[in-house]
Homo-oligomer: A and B are copies of this chain.
């Protein structure tokens, strides 16, 4: 069992409130929730707003499912960096007798893991992981590179927690930029700065900060330090609940980390660089509810105008 991350007292109180209001629906697995009507309405409004904002770049719209090929997880570096967060899909391959054994063990809530075998599928850790092989299959980028809008994708992180803002599966709304190094890193910086203003326009007390990914183990601490030194990752932090503000968006410059294994090339023939920006839709929704209360109709008029225009 992955270590359970307990909630702080104010996180636990916020979670109880959300459940009592029907914003979230509890399951018997920590960090797995259904969404009530109001929560979903706000989440969709945030999603559509960010889509409208991103449309100024005329990104290509691509959408990917919550699963990616296992082979991509094997070759994109995720298992070295984040083995503890990855999820793989197993399924049944037996006949009559094995099916009966599996159903009986499962019915008694005993261990039936030996009845399951690994498939070709894994859970999507971030929406952009599916985009790199798709772009690699196309050949060279057009002059100027490419920008993708990946919409609101379901992603997975195996980190069961009592903090309602740390879900095991949630919507990440991502855009990805492919191109020359300077183009890509400037794009990442521009969106970071712009996004601070965007989140402030919906009344959130957001600030940007240098950040690092939750790399695994001892070597991971060095990777994290190097990532900070090179300013590869920024996060937007907003107070939700807990002792620290919560990251609700991240802005990542990958150099050629993802383009190299998939041979994504610029029009000039060099291996491209990539950057992605990702907004955590559930976290932004929680921040809005925490900041403005559980009744969107009573939120400040300016916030309503942004999220529900006309």
Q: Which residue of B lies closest to A67 (CB)?
A: B169
Known pairs A121-B32, A154-B65; A79 contacts B102 (CB<8 A): yes
Bound-state Cα–Cα, A123 to B71, Å: 19
Interface pair B61/A90, CB less than 8 Å apart: no
Choose among B60, B73, B217 the residue that contacts A106 (Cβ–Cβ < 8 A). B73
Known contacts A36-B62, A118-B116, A168-B67; decide if A99 and B217 are in contact (CB<8 Å): yes
- Residues of B near A116 (CB, < 8 A) are 88, 90, 118
Contact with A34, one of B2, B63, B70 (Cβ below 8 angstroms): B63
Query: Is A218 close to B, CB under 8 A?
Result: yes
- Cβ-defined contact, A86 with B92, below 8 A: yes
Select which of B32, B93, B103, B106 is within 8 A of A67 by beta carbon: B32
How many residues of chain A get a CB closer than 8 Å to chain B's CBs?
77
Chain B residues with Cβ under 8 A from A123's Cβ? 89
Q: Which residue of B lies closest to A218 (CB)?
A: B96
Q: Give residues of chain A (87-146) contacting chain B, Cβ–Cβ below 8 Å.
A: 87-96, 99, 102-103, 106-107, 109, 111-113, 116-121, 123, 130-131, 133-134, 137
For A167-203 the 0/1 string (1 means CB < 8 A from B) is: 0111000000000000000000000000000000000
Closest B residue to A217 by beta carbon equals B96
Q: Does A300 contact B (CB under 8 A)?
A: no
A256 contacts partner chain B, Cβ-Cβ < 8 Å? no
Contact B103 A65 (CB under 8 A): no
Contact pick for A29, options B35, B80, B121, B216, CB 8 Å: B121
Contact partner, A40, options B61, B80, B88, B168, Cβ 8 Å: B61
Stoichiometry, as copies per complex, reads 2
CA distance A241 to B60 in the complex (A): 29
> By the criterion CB–CB under 8 Å, are A66 and B29 in contact?
no
A214 within 8 A of B: no
Q: A89-B88, A96-B217, A154-B65 are in contact. Are A117 and B113 (CB under 8 A)?
A: yes
A109 interface neighbour in B2, B74, B93, B113, Cβ under 8 Å: B74
Interface window among A20-28, A205-213, A226-234:
A20-28
Q: A158-B91, A169-B65, A218-B96 are in contact. Are A118 and B109 (CB under 8 A)?
A: no
> Does A1 belong to the interface (CB within 8 Å)?
yes
Smallest CB separation, A163 vs chain B (Å)? 17
A26 touching B137 in the complex, CB below 8 Å, given contacts A90-B88, A168-B67: yes
Which residue of chain B is the closest to A114 with respect to CB atoms?
Answer: B118
Q: Identify the closest chain B residue to A116 (Cβ).
A: B88
Select A79's contact among B25, B106, B130, B169, beta carbons within 8 Å: B106
Contact present for A69 and B34 (CB under 8 Å)? no
What are 8 A-B contacts defined by CB distance under 8 Å? A37-B62, A66-B169, A80-B107, A83-B94, A87-B90, A89-B89, A89-B156, A113-B117
